[in-house]
Amino acid sequence: MSNELATLYQDDTFIVKAQLVEGNPFIHVSVLEFSLDVRKRMKEVWEDIKVGFYYEGYDALYAVSLNHKFSKVMGGELQSTLEDGKGVYKWETL
Residues 52-92: tens digit of each pLDDT: 999 999 999 999 999 999 999 999 999 999 999 999 999 99
Residue count of the chain: 94
Identify the DSSP state of 56: T
**Predicted confidence (pLDDT) per residue in 3-14, tens digit:** 789 999 999 999
Tell me the pLDDT band of 17, cut-offs 50, 70 and 90.
very high
DSSP 3-state assignment of 86?
A: coil
